[in-house]
């Protein structure tokens, strides 16, 4: 994977070469192997490279035969060999063996209408010198990031916001509405970032900047189809289709000129991918896993079961509480927005282990839960609707106890069911029914906001904004599809694939690839009836059947173990460190102006003396610390945090400077 950056002004550039080099320097961690730039009178685009394909000849930016089209690109096009053959038949001449060059020639052949031909994960910037057109595009589900802002007629873009912030004239201020959204949804809504004036290109969208203006357009919709388009075939036939598509998705994601490893948690999803790799393509694959000190988080036993079953080479890290606390600030710096969980940090540590092993690419299990019906929140919504249709039923509510048997294990906790999960169960027709209970619970931590932040937020209602963003006809969708859409479009795209995916991997120059997010498989699952995704209270029913030939019964029969990381002790360890005390000092809290210092002090005192923390208090502490980290590093401008530690060494020759 790589990093891209640049700026375009159709009326002419006044930025310097040093500006572009500074931007690329800030994201050198995304591409430590090489760097390159192209500059003419109107555009400056650059690239830092993590070399995966065509190691010797794949440096970017890449151009066409006449040097009128240039592209800088972050990602992988997995079907590039097939597209390359198609383009050669059309008469195009290739000068490299990279997947990048396919983008150039597809644009020559078809204009901007080629995105749906790509199978992969990407964010690219293509500059058409003849039309003076910048074409920015992002992959369907948002595996790869790209951010942009408009300033004095120039469109400025980069893989990470920190690159944009190297330009001294860019405003660096926190958006109170974004803070409100994060403290509701765990992330910002699509298109928004934590900073005023900085936008994120949403998944499945592209931007055209031409002399006539700026155009933002969606080219792909999440494929969750109405009932008249559901598959009516035999479930065994559907199972075979899922299996074939998943195997092929794994096959093409192994295309690389470097070794490819896998993450192995011991759960169904990563075990399935690893087993397909080991049994069909590479029996010597290297696998990597996370262990935890606290038993309720640890899946080590299942990891080791899979290692013995497949006889693969496995390495693991122990994400101890102190290690999580020690790396929390670094992880947040890469996330570029507050996080309400410590879960990204062990993945940051795992990526470091992978890099130390010499591996650059890993396959992971992300996307299976969202599209195959794996999350408890999906089953919870179906149970609450069933309960809501007969709210006085005693036994219907007990299904929640069965779903969360690890939580409701005594009389006191069982009483919590009716108070928490029984809220508004008669409102199952609400389009947001599946998620409202969680969002309202998370919103409780907004009580820590400062008066000035509350004043700036004023009457803004993030949940109402979410309602306005729903696609046409959403009210008529099946409840499971509604829940899937909310989870995919908000949580998966804006948090899971970002804070727990791209950012933690690229912090150590590791590319993550996700077979379950192959768009062919997504399209099939969008046509699978809900009852084949969740059968009774059995999640991922069809996927488990599809993976059965690859996995031992102990894995397919497992109760889902959601990935989580310790919070209370980890965050307290950080808060009690020298850097933590500096971040949470009364002066720092007051200067940032985000939180009420008295309430923050009260929370710290409460958690310091408690044996355990409630979910709400732990989320509040994570959110407060991470927001303060962002303020200190990106707004308060500590140069050693905002700017790159290592100056980018770019060799510029006459072929890259065209003006």
Query: What is the pTM assigned to this prediction?
Result: 0.94
Q: Is the pLDDT of residue 292 over 80?
A: yes
d(CA 356, CA 359): 8
Q: pLDDT tens, 456-502?
A: 999 999 999 999 999 999 999 999 999 999 999 999 999 999 999 99
| Predicted local distance difference test score (pLDDT) of residue 643 | 42
Q: pLDDT tens, 320-379?
A: 999 999 999 999 999 999 999 999 999 999 999 999 999 999 999 999 999 999 999 999
Q: pLDDT tens, 512-561?
A: 999 999 999 999 999 999 999 999 889 999 999 999 999 999 999 888 88
- Indicate the range of 245-249, 294-298, 470-474 predicted with least confidence: 294-298
| Predicted local distance difference test score (pLDDT) of residue 407 | 64
| Predicted local distance difference test score (pLDDT) of residue 642 | 39
The more confident residue out of 27 and 405 is 27
d(CA 188, CA 494): 7
Backbone angles phi, psi at 43, to 5 degrees: -135, 145
Instruction: Find out whether 356 and 346 touch, Cβ atoms under 8 Å.
Output: no
* DSSP code of residue 96: S
Strand residue runs (E) in 79-225: 120-128, 133-138, 147-151, 154-158, 199-200, 205-210, 213-218
The residues near 244 (Cβ < 8 Å, ≥ 6 apart) are none
Rg for the chain, CA atoms, rounded: 24
Q: Is the pLDDT of residue 429 over 70?
A: yes
| Predicted local distance difference test score (pLDDT) of residue 657 | 47
If pLDDT is split at 50, 70 and 90, which confidence band does 11 have? confident
Helices (H) and strands (E) in the chain, counts: 29, 17
Q: Which long-range contacts (CB under 8 A, 24 or more apart) does 30-35 make?
A: 30/1, 30/2, 30/3, 30/74, 30/159, 30/160, 30/506, 30/509, 31/1, 31/2, 31/3, 31/509, 32/509, 34/59, 35/648, 35/649, 35/650
| Predicted local distance difference test score (pLDDT) of residue 647 | 42
**Active-site annotation, residues:** 2
For residue 286, the surrounding DSSP H or E stretch is: strand 286-291
């Amino acid at each position: 994977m790589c990093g891209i950056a640049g700026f375009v002004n159709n009326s002419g550039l006044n930025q310097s070469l040093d500006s572009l080099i500074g931007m690329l320097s800030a994201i050198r961690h995304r591409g430590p192997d090489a760097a390159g730039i192209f500059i003419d009178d109107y555009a400056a685009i650059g690239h830092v490279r993590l070399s995966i394909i065509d190691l010797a000849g794949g440096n970017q930016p890449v151009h066409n035969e006449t040097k009128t089209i240039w592209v800088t690109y972050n990602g992988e096009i997995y079907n590039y060999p097939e597209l390359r053959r198609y383009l050669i038949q059309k008469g195009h001449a290739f000068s490299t063996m990279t997947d990048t060059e396919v983008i150039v020639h597809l644009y020559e052949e078809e204009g901007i209408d080629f995105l749906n031909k790509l199978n992969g994960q990407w964010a690219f910037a293509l500059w058409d010198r003849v039309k003076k057109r910048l074409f920015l595009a992002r992959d369907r589900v948002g595996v790869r990031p790209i951010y942009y802002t408009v300033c004095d007629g120039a469109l400025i873009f980069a893989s990470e916001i920190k690159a944009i912030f190297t330009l001294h004239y860019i405003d660096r201020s926190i958006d109170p509405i974004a803070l409100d959204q994060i403290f509701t949804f765990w992330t910002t809504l699509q298109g928004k970032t934590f900073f005023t004036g900085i936008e994120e290109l949403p998944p499945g969208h592209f931007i055209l900047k031409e002399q006539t203006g700026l155009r933002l357009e969606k080219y792909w919709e999440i494929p969750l189809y109405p009932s008249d388009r559901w598959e009516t075939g035999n479930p065994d036939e559907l199972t075979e289709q899922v299996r074939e598509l998943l195997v092929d998705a794994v096959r093409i994601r192994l295309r690389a000129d470097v070794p490819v490893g896998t993450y192995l948690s011991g759960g169904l999803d990563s075990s399935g991918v690893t087993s397909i790799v080991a049994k069909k393509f590479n029996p010597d694959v290297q696998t990597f896993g996370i262990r935890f000190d606290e038993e309720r988080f640890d899946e080590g036993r299942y990891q080791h079961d899979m290692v013995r079953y497949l006889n693969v080479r496995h390495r693991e890290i122990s994400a101890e509480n102190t290690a999580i606390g020690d790396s929390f600030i670094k992880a947040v710096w890469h996330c570029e927005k507050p996080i309400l969980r410590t879960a990204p940090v062990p993945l940051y540590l795992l990526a470091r282990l992978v890099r130390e092993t010499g591996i650059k690419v890993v396959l992971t299990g992300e996307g299976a839960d969202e599209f195959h019906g794996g999350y408890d929140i999906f089953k919870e919504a179906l149970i609450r609707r069933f309960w809501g249709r007969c709210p006085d039923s005693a036994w219907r509510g007990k299904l929640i106890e069965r779903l969360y048997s690890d939580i409701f294990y005594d009389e006191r906790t069982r009483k919590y069911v009716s108070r928490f999960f029984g809220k508004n169960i008669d409102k199952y027709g609400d389009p947001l029914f599946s998620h409202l209970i969680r969002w309202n619970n998370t919103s409780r931590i907004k009580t820590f906001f400062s008066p000035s932040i509350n004043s700036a937020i004023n009457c803004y209602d993030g949940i109402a904004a979410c309602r306005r963003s729903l696609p046409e006809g959403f009210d008529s969708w099946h409840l499971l599809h509604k829940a899937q859409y909310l989870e995919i479009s908000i949580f998966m795209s804006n948090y899971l694939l970002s804070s727990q995916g791209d950012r933690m991997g690229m912090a150590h120059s590791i590319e993550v690839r996700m077979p379950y997010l192959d768009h062919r498989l997504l399209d099939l699952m969008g046509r699978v009836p809900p009852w084949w995704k969740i059968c009774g209270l059995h999640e991922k029913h069809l996927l488990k059947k599809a993976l059965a030939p690859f996995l031992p019964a102990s894995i397919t029969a497992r109760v889902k173990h959601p990935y989580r990381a310790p919070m209370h002790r980890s965050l307290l360890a950080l808060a009690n460190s020298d850097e933590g005390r500096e971040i949470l000092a009364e002066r720092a809290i007051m200067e940032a102006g985000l939180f009420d210092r008295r309430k923050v002090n009260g929370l710290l005192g409460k958690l310091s003396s408690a044996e355990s923390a409630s979910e709400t208090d732990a989320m509040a502490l994570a959110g407060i610390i991470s927001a303060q980290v962002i303020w200190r590093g990106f707004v308060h401008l500590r140069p050693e945090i905002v700017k790159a530690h290592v100056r980018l060494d770019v060799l510029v020759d006459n072929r890259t400077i065209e003006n």
